[in-house]
Each structure stands twice: as C-alpha cells, then as structure tokens.
Structure 1
Amino acid sequence: MNKIILIFLTVFCATSLFSQAPTISDIKFEGLKKTKEQILLRVIQIEKGEELKLSKLEQDIIQLKRLPAISHAYYKIKNVDSSNCIVTFHVEENFTIIPEVNIWTTTNRRLAYKLGVYDYNFLGRNIGIGGFYQQNGFDSYGFNFRAPMLFSRTLGLAFNHQNWSSEEPLYFGDNSANYKYQNISYELLLLYRINFKHNVDFGINLFNEKYTYLNGHTADGVPQQLDLNKKLLKFVYTYDDLNYFYHYVEGFKSQLYGQYVTTVNEYQNDFFIAWNDAFYFKRIGEKGNWANRLRVGLSTNEESPFAPFALDNNVNLRGVGILVDRGTGSIVWNTEYRHTLYEKKWFVLQGNVFTDFGTWRTPGGSLKDFVKSENVRVYSGLGLRFISKKIFNAVFRIDYGYGITPSSSSSGLVFGIGQYF
C-alpha cells in the first residue's frame, strides 16, 4: 500500500512540475526598422522574470497591432530549458509619414485645398506630430503633437494649436446667411491609459471665435460681428476592444466626449456638449467586414444659429452636402458592408455598400424633433476603397450617396483619406 501511495505522489509531483508555466527569461523583437524597442516594452504587459501567461501574450499582440507603427504582429515561444523560455515578437512596420492633399469646393463653389504632413511614429517613439495649411478663400493652419507614453507607459501629453478660417452658413428659420468663421485655439491634454481596454484624455482648450457677416439673410437679434474668448474643458473616455488583421477589424469600441464651454457675451451662454460614438465590427467570411457607428449627442438647447451639431457630407451622411443644417442634438447610425475585391501583396481594392441614417433636434426644439419626418434623413450608396497594407491609414475612399427619404433630396460624391469611420 505504501508503494502505491509513493508511486502516486511521485507521478503527481512530476505532473505538477511539468505543467508549471515557464518563466520568461528574455523578450525580443524582430522586424523593427524605425520603432524603438524600449517603446514597445512599455506597450506590452509581459515582463522578464515573470511566469508566462498566454492570455497576456494575446492581449499584447492586439495592443501592438493598434499602434500606428505596426501593421501586423505575432509571437513565438522558445523553451531554453524546463523552466525558462524566450518570447519573440515578430512585427511588420507601417510607413507612418503621411502627406495630406485634399481638394474640394466651398459653399460658394470656390476651389479649396489643404496640404499637410503627419508622422504617426516620430523618432520611432510612438509620437504623433504634424501640421497643415489650408486655403479655402481664407488662410488656415494647424499643429498637432501627441505622445501617449511621454512620461510613463500609462501617462502622456497632447498639444494642439489651430488657426482656422472658413466661410460657413448659419441657419435661422427658413433663411440662412454666410459668415466668415475664425477659430484660434490652444489645447493641452493629459493622456492616461488605465489598462488594456480603457483610456482617458482630459484637459483644457483656450480659444477665440470670430464671426463676420459676408452675405445672405439678416435678422433682428442675429449679430453681424462676434468676437468671443472662450474656455473649453474636455474629457474623453475610450473603451477599446477592437482586434485588427491588416485592413479587417473585429470587435467593439466606444468613445464618450464631454465638453464644457464658458464664455461671456449676450448672444451665447455657457454650454455643455456631449456625444458618444459606439463602433461594432464583424468579420464575415474571409473577405467581408460589417462596420457600424452609432453617434448620439446632445448639447445645451438654445435657440441659436450657432448650434454645435452640423449636418455634413464629411461627418455623418454621405451625399447630404456641405454644412446643410445645424442642431442641438444628433442621432446618426452609419452601417456598411466592406468586401475585398482584389488583394495582391501590399495593395487591396475594397468595395462597400452603405446606408446612413440621421436625425436632429432643432435649436430650441424638443426631443420629439428626433422622430419628426422632416428631421429624419436616410442616404444609401456604393463606394470603393484603395488600401495600402504597408502605410498607416493609407485608405483613399470614394462614396456616392443618394437620398431615399422625402427630406433627403440631394446626392453626391464624397472623397476622403481613411475609412469613413
């Protein structure tokens, strides 16, 4: 009997020893060209000297593929001996210095253009930096800096400066007028990564807004000149559970934006604005991707032509036109099916069919505005995507949207860089 017990204990101890996870003795990266290894060691969760956990490794792969510098990544485990192993991450880097060239027509059919450049992996340290110049009848420029791991693996900083001018329509009743709008802003944000899925950005934006009447309808109580100094407190919470395989995406993501704006003038009071973008992506077969974005937003409900939510081609409804209307509330659902038509090494041609649903609350209106037929617009259409698998966000898109509800009488082409959402 004692021999049986001794044999059982020996087998049990041997099995336990064999099944014990090895210790990580070294972490290596292969395929790096520009990106610094120490930055990626900040991104991943596993560390030297700790027990190997495959669940952590899988999360690290997802986190690496979310970086602008990385187009694809996978890992290999090499056993050194019975109790130690080496983890090697194999990465494929993106080209991250991206020029921006946009050409379009303004509200008065004037030809406009925007030129810029942005490096999403400056100095190989996962820092985004860049700027632009725009000419649309007025001169505009901007500068952006974003370093999510500037101070530590969880704490970073962003700084943005913009001097923006454009001709914009303002709506009051059934009439409208064109104004020159200028916004000069300085923004400073702290970036905090709570964990693998949760991030928070918060900070302040100091800006000056000017409105100058150009032409169109005038009305009592609507000023022809405004010069306002404002402060904006910003908060952004992101839940990110997306997984990428080159141009395919799967999972759920939610971004909540909150802004409180303070100002002192007789035409605008302090106001609050918040909106949430919920994204859902689903792989369908080997070549299909179903993509969805639901945006729900509300702001302080004042009867003013300066309402913050805009109805626009490039923001929410493809085919509706440029700055068609404004509101103090917005509900928009964009849904599309993307299908890979052709793929060869670095190049992908993708087709899509989409439908964009939108409804607005008019300035000073009620929540019932969301279900009024005159405020509901639906557009549907087809598009193409020209994608490079080796350049970050190198997606040239073209969509044609057509209105299919009585209040959606327009149609048109929409061009852009990057997926629509």
Structure 2
Amino acid sequence: MKYITALILLFTTLVNSQENSVADLKIQGNKRLKTSFVKKISQIKQGVKLDSALIEADIRLLKRLPSIAHAYYQVFPANAPNQYNVFYNIEENFTIIPSANVYTTNDDEFAYRLGLYEFNLFGQNITFGGFYQKDIFDSYAINFRAPFLFSRKLGLAINYQDLTTLEPVFFDNTTADYRYNNASIEALGLFQINFTNRIELGLNYFTEDYLYQSGATNPEVPQELRVKKLLYKAIYEYNNLNYTYQYVEGFRSIFNFQYVHSTEDEQLPDFLIGWNDFQYFKRLGKKGNWANRLRLGLSTNNDTPFAPFAVDNNLNIRGVGNLIDRGTGAIVLNTEYRHTLYEKNWFVLQGNAFVDAGSWQNPGGDLSDFVDSDNLRIYPGIGLRFIHKSIFNAIFRIDYGYGITPNATNGLVFGIGQYF
C-alpha cells in the first residue's frame, strides 16, 4: 500500500511541476486588422510556454502599430491542466489618414504639403500613400512600406519622389537662389532583429538638377547642374518607447548612414553623411509629458554651396523660415513639455511649450563653427495639439516659434502629427 501511495505522490509532483503552456491565442476587438496578421507577429503561440514577459512584449509591439490605438491582454485557464487561453484585446485606429503641413514666417513665406495615406492596407499594417507639396514649385511622392511583409522579422519599403524647391545657395558671403529638383526611386529591406532593434538596408537612385534663378554669381559655381547618383543607405534603430494614447515614455535612437556616389564626372563629389537622432520621453504626473530630440550629424566636409544639412522650419527649428542655411554638420536640440489641457472620450486638447536650438558647421569649415554665435539659432515657442485618440496620428498641431538670437525671425508652423 505504501508503494502505491508513493507512486501517487510522485505522479502528483510531476504533474504540478509541468510548465504552464498556451492552449490558444485569441484576438478580440479587431475589425479591419487581420487576426492572422496579429498571430504572425506575436511571440505567444499555441503550445509555447506561458511567459508574461513575452506577452508584455507582444502588447508593446501591438501598441506601436499604426492600426492599433490601444491593446491589453487577459489570461484564463483552459479545459486541460496547466493550459491557458491568452486573449489579446485590441482597440483599432482609423487608418486612412490625410496629412498636412503648412509653414510660414514673418517674411510672408508660405508653403504646404498635403497627403493621403492608408496605414493598414489589406489589414496587414502596410502603409501606402503619397503627398503633393507646394513650395513655390510643385512636388509629389508615393510611398509603400510593409515591415512584416515576408515574416515577423522581414519586410520591404519602396519610395518614389519628385521634389522641386527654391534652394538658397551660400558662397562668398552672398546668396543665390536655385531651382532644385530631386527625382528618386528607393528600395529598402527591413529587418526586425528583436523587439527593440531593427535595421534597414537599401539603395536609392536619383537625379539632382540645379538651375540658377536669381542672386549672386561666381564663375566657380555652376548656374546649371544635372547629375545622376546612387545612394547606399543603412539605418539602425533602437526603440524602447511605450505608448499610452497621447503619452509616450522611454528612449529611442535612430542612426542613419549614407554613401552618395556620382555616376557621372560632375562637380558634385561623392560624399559620406551620417546622423543620429536620440529621443527621450518621460511622463510627468498624470497629464504631463516631457519630450526631447537631439540630432548629431556630420558629412564629408566639402567646401560646396550644396551642403546637405539644412536649417528649416519644418525639419528642425520652428519659426526659423523655409531653408535659410546649409552646413556639413549639425547639432540640433528640440525639447518641449506637453500637457493635457482637456480630455473627454476620444478628444484631447494638449498644450506645449518648447525650445528649438541648433548650430551648424559651415561647408569646408572647422568643428569650432558649432560654437560660433553666427551659426547658433535658438527659438522658444508655444503650441497646441488637437488629438483624436482613435485615429492614427490624428494630431493637428500649431506651433509659434520666436527667435532670440541675432537676425532672427518668427513664424507659425502647422502640421499633422507631433513635431517629433
């Protein structure tokens, strides 16, 4: 009898020591988003060990997707011992989104960009759309991005653009205006290493066309230039951000490196360019959010009027004007405090106070240019955000920046989405 009791105790111990496992993963709340897609990108699957860390990682990944406004999970015992059903509950975003950016300064400059994008094409979190831009000249672009096209880790992006702008060219302490056109086709392979790390590798074939319009001239600066180039691109991103509706918390770093090679013997030499964006977000109390972006960038330091780093209203310094200067290096800091002023159901009114500051290295100059007061711009300002919580990126922003450094301007910047 004692042997039977011992066997029963041993069997009971073995049963209780078995690891809990997932009987099934069930997706709830999704309408346009395909259940098969959610299961494809989730680490929790039928038969795997029940691991709360993996579940939390899945939920954080889902909340980053454009198609999802919010996600949470539940775990319930299944009918078998040590078996559990995991439920991922999803609140979807509306994902057919217009985009708009409008920017002006006190010099009566005015430009805008209007677009339309679908961020959940075929219920697979594929982004497809394009934009039209009016910045004196007409421009347009078409974009396709499918980060999970082939698997949970492997995707593809294809972009075409034809951008034309009036570009100031700086040389001999004077300025000339050129009509600049960049027509390009780009293909990128997208690889998700793990939850926080990803890379992009690709090739961009483009044609640059410069045509003199007005201003100073110099025999060594061509008045017309057309060159075909190849751009080899590599991007590495570390992303540990966590989203809760309009609030963001965590750290993100994006490194972008490019090698540009001229396919023709022209006056624009080959060059290297790289920059890193560091982003840090912190929740302050129940309604506050501190947001920061630091960009550090350098390129081959050619003494050329066509330097790659721009000083621009819509890129880095709110209120500064539309492309007022260029450099071969850049240090830019954007910091702002966002505060929820009003929130009810789907609507949020958010206010923000910001400081945008930056300095540039002159083409052919030294690193000491970064501390030269002539290259420094500081623009504090305030703004408002009108946010729809269940439409992806439905954030209409208005910012007013006022320069406090010498010869500064001021102006409004309108747009869709947070500035960074």
Instruction: Give the shorter-chain TM-score range.
Output: over 0.9
1:82-122 Cα offsets, whole Å, 9 max, x none, are 31010000010001111124445699957544332100111
Aligned residue in 2 for 1:360? 360
Distance 1:242 1:213, change over 3 A: same
Q: Does 1:208 align with 2:213?
A: no
Aligned residue in 2 for 1:38? 36
Separation in structure 2 between the aligned mates of residue 390 and residue 408 of structure 1, nearest angstrom: 43
Aligned residue in 1 for 2:53? 55
Separation in structure 1 between the aligned mates of residue 238 and residue 29 of structure 2, nearest angstrom: 29
User: For 1:368-407, what aligned pairs fall within 5 Å after superposition?
Assistant: 368-405=368-405, 407=406
How far apart are 1:401 and its partner, in Å? 1.3
User: For 1:14-413, what aligned pairs fall within 5 Å after superposition?
Assistant: 18=16, 21-80=19-78, 81-104=80-103, 112-263=111-262, 264-405=264-405, 407=406, 409-413=408-412
Q: Mean alpha-carbon deviation: is it higher for 6-15 or for 385-394?
A: 6-15
Q: Which amino acid aligns with 1:90?
A: N
- By relative contact order (CA 8 Å, sep 6+), the higher-ranking structure is 2
Confirm or deny: 8 A CA contact 1:254 1:279 kept in the other structure: yes
Separation in structure 2 between the aligned mates of residue 190 and residue 390 of structure 1, nearest angstrom: 30
1:146-192 Cα offsets, whole Å, 9 max, x none, are 11111111111110011111112111132111111111101011001
Q: Which amino acid aligns with 1:389?
A: K
Q: Mean alpha-carbon deviation: is it higher for 187-196 or for 78-87?
A: 78-87
* TM-score normalised by structure 1 residue count: 0.94
Confirm or deny: 8 A CA contact 1:30 1:90 kept in the other structure: yes
Q: Mean alpha-carbon deviation: is it higher for 45-54 or for 101-110?
A: 101-110
Query: What SS class does the counterpart of residue 369 from structure 1 fall into?
Result: helix
Q: Which amino acid aligns with 1:99?
A: P
RMSD: 2.3
Confirm or deny: 8 A CA contact 1:107 1:168 kept in the other structure: no
How far apart are 1:139 and its partner, in Å? 2.6
Confirm or deny: 8 A CA contact 1:170 1:176 kept in the other structure: yes
Q: Mean alpha-carbon deviation: is it higher for 228-237 or for 97-106?
A: 97-106
Confirm or deny: 8 A CA contact 2:105 2:409 kept in the other structure: no
Separation in structure 1 between the aligned mates of residue 231 and residue 145 of structure 2, nearest angstrom: 19
Q: Which amino acid aligns with 1:63?
A: L
Separation in structure 2 between the aligned mates of residue 219 and residue 40 of structure 1, nearest angstrom: 59
Confirm or deny: 8 A CA contact 2:183 2:207 kept in the other structure: yes
Aligned residue in 2 for 1:3? none
1:30-58 Cα offsets, whole Å, 9 max, x none, are 11010011111122111110110001111
1:235-291 Cα offsets, whole Å, 9 max, x none, are 000101000001100000000000000013442110000000011000111101011
Aligned-residue sequence identity (percent) comes to 55
Separation in structure 2 between the aligned mates of residue 351 and residue 161 of structure 1, nearest angstrom: 35
1:203-249 Cα offsets, whole Å, 9 max, x none, are 10000010011111112211100000000000000101000001100
Q: Mean alpha-carbon deviation: is it higher for 150-159 or for 224-233?
A: 150-159
Distance 1:250 1:9, change over 3 A: farther
Distance 1:106 1:269, change over 3 A: farther
Q: Mean alpha-carbon deviation: is it higher for 294-303 or for 35-44?
A: 35-44
Distance 1:26 1:303, change over 3 A: same
1:316-345 Cα offsets, whole Å, 9 max, x none, are 111211111100000111111100000011
Confirm or deny: 8 A CA contact 1:179 1:212 kept in the other structure: yes
Separation in structure 1 between the aligned mates of residue 109 and residue 367 of structure 2, nearest angstrom: 37
Query: What SS class does the counterpart of residue 207 from structure 1 fall into?
Result: strand
How far apart are 1:12 and its partner, in Å? 9.8
Q: Mean alpha-carbon deviation: is it higher for 137-146 or for 200-209?
A: 137-146
For structure 1, the 5+ residue unaligned runs are 1-5
Q: Which amino acid aligns with 1:43?
A: I
Separation in structure 1 between the aligned mates of residue 413 and residue 230 of structure 2, nearest angstrom: 33
Query: What SS class does the counterpart of residue 286 from structure 2 fall into?
Result: coil
Confirm or deny: 8 A CA contact 1:127 1:145 kept in the other structure: yes
Distance 1:47 1:170, change over 3 A: same
Query: What SS class does the counterpart of residue 22 from structure 2 fall into?
Result: strand
How far apart are 1:366 and its partner, in Å? 0.7
Separation in structure 1 between the aligned mates of residue 321 and residue 109 of structure 2, nearest angstrom: 15
Separation in structure 2 between the aligned mates of residue 402 and residue 413 of structure 1, nearest angstrom: 9
For structure 2, the 5+ residue unaligned runs are none
Total equivalences in the alignment: 417
How far apart are 1:390 and its partner, in Å? 0.7
Confirm or deny: 8 A CA contact 1:107 1:167 kept in the other structure: no
Q: Which amino acid aligns with 2:336?
A: E
1:301-328 Cα offsets, whole Å, 9 max, x none, are 0111100000111111112111111000
Confirm or deny: 8 A CA contact 2:103 2:314 kept in the other structure: no
